[in-house]
Amino acid sequence: MYFLSIYKRKSKVKGYTVVSSSEFSKNDAIKAFEKLVLFTVFANNYFSIGEQRAKISEDYFYAPAYSIQDYLQINNGNPILEKGREILLKFGDLQKEFKVLIKQFSNHYDDHILKTNKIDDDDFERITEVLAHINRIQYLQGKTLLENYSALKMMEKEMQNTKIMLSIPKDNMIFLKELLNGIKKTEDSIKDLEDQQKISHLPTEEQIEISKKSIYQAALAKLPRYKQDLRYPKP
């Protein structure tokens, strides 16, 4: 069994060493390094993006949508609020799906990988798949915001005029305001997901398979750079 030691200075990776509990050959150690370092890169992306975004509750979208729904049951004929409610529900559904996917992989990571200290081909399959889903859902969330920004701003103003805001928790409204104020950040993040945009018309299963391959190939392309930081055994 091989283990990867990572040397850091001020949170920056400065080098790697492959160690083993038994004798090993240089070639086997380098092959192990390739798998271990790639999985480490995938895991870092997962924890920095996936788990952070999963902290956002779907209720930040559902709560205002339900308050709008309650208002519309009494006050019919407000297309601005109805449109906004539909968009918020879509956001909520996407975030709910996102959180389920993250929870499933995090459970696998905690219950299998951390407990066994082993990484196999199935783990690579799982982590590239969840990263592919992260890209897909991020793109859909960003696309939804950009395409409906004007409608959401109108909804926000209408919620003020109708006093609906008073029935929504303050932190929900703060989140909604920050979401709308961050439109430039969303535009930039969509640019980083250009590959996802190209395949967004395909069925979800096809998108995931294409994205998995792209994620893996992108990591492989950086492997020579990672090998430069391998202290032992030297390539």
Q: What is the band of 226 on the pLDDT scale with cuts at 50, 70, 90?
A: confident
Smallest Cα–Cα separation from 95: which of 129, 145, 163, 45? 145
Q: Which of 25-29, 50-54, 174-178, 212-216 has the lowest mean pLDDT?
A: 25-29
Q: Got the DSSP string for 81-150?
A: HHHHHHHHHHHHHHHHHHHHHHHHHHHHIIIIIHHHT---HHHHHHHHHHHHHHHHHHHHHHHHHHHTHH
pLDDT at 145: 93
Q: Residue 135: what residue type?
A: N
Average pLDDT, the chain: 90
Smallest Cα–Cα separation from 46: which of 235, 179, 215? 215
Task: Tell me what the mean pLDDT of segment 44-51 comes to.
Answer: 88
Residue 105 has pLDDT above 90, yes or no: yes
> How many Cβ atoms from other residues are within 10 Å of residue 53's Cβ?
16
Q: Which of 98-102, 112-116, 146-150 has the lowest mean pLDDT?
A: 112-116
> Model confidence over 148-207: pLDDT tens digits?
999 999 999 999 999 999 989 889 889 999 989 988 888 888 888 888 989 999 999 999
Residue 209 has pLDDT above 90, yes or no: yes
pLDDT at 77: 82
Residue 131: which residues within 8 A CB-CB, separation 6 or more?
42, 45, 46, 50, 211, 212, 215
The share of the chain scoring above pLDDT 70, in percent, equals 100
Q: What is the largest CA-CA distance in the chain?
A: 76
Smallest Cα–Cα separation from 138: which of 219, 56, 76? 56
Residue 140 has pLDDT above 90, yes or no: yes
pLDDT at 84: 96
**Most confident segment among 16-25, 40-49, 161-170, 205-214:** 205-214
pLDDT at 223: 87
Contact 49, 41 (CB under 8 A): no
**Most confident segment among 41-55, 85-99, 162-176:** 85-99
> How many Cβ atoms from other residues are within 10 Å of residue 2's Cβ?
18
Q: Got the DSSP string for 31-42?
A: HHHHHHHHHHHH
